[in-house]
Amino acid sequence: MKKIFIIPALVFAISLSSCGGGNDTKSTSTDNTATKESTDAGAETVPGIENIELSNTWTVEGNDQMKFDTELIRVKAGEPVEITLKNVGTMPKESMGHNFVVLKPGVDLPTFGAEATGAADSEYIPKSSLSSIVAHTKLLGPGEEDKITFTIEKGVYDYICSFPGHYGVMKGKIVAE
């Protein structure tokens, strides 16, 4: 009985201290449109955005070190954005699964991450926070990939891996201009 309580606590503690990424598999598609809930922050407020190529098609890799290989994405607002997530890691999905969750501007990452930790039955996409999500991939194991397509308005959007413990280091920003 004590193990039932210790395991979730251990998972939560690990999730607060770590993050990760890596993906590869066949792709699926999710379509979402974000309303104009963008922040006033423009491209000039995101350091280094001027050095990033403007493209609405991106491939992002996650690995066993809980890292995305891309932390800054620049897209044209109001046009479809296609992102493919590849899990290039080798660890099992149950211990090092990765997803790609695009959040609406203003979402509190620690709050969302804590809710995601308790959403194992829905691949760490909390049903209570669906209104905070623009789009997300499925949870991927080693060698898998998934593709999402969505449209966003001008603004800055956070993206994370919502697997427990990953959101703190496995994150980035999408700048829509």
For 69-99, what is each residue's pLDDT tens digit? 999 999 999 999 999 999 999 999 999 999 9
- Per-residue pLDDT tens over the stretch 153-176: 999 999 999 999 999 999 999 999
Average pLDDT value for the chain: 84
Fold (CATH) for 2-176? Immunoglobulin-like (2.60.40)
Beta-carbon contacts of residue 72 (< 8 Å; ≥ 6 apart): 46, 48, 49, 52, 172, 173, 175
Its pTM stands at 0.77
Output the CA–CA distances (angstroms, integers) from residue 50 to 54, 56, 73, in the order listed: 9, 16, 11
Report the pLDDT value the prediction gives residue 70, as an integer from 0 to 100.
Answer: 97
Any idea what DSSP says for residue 49? G
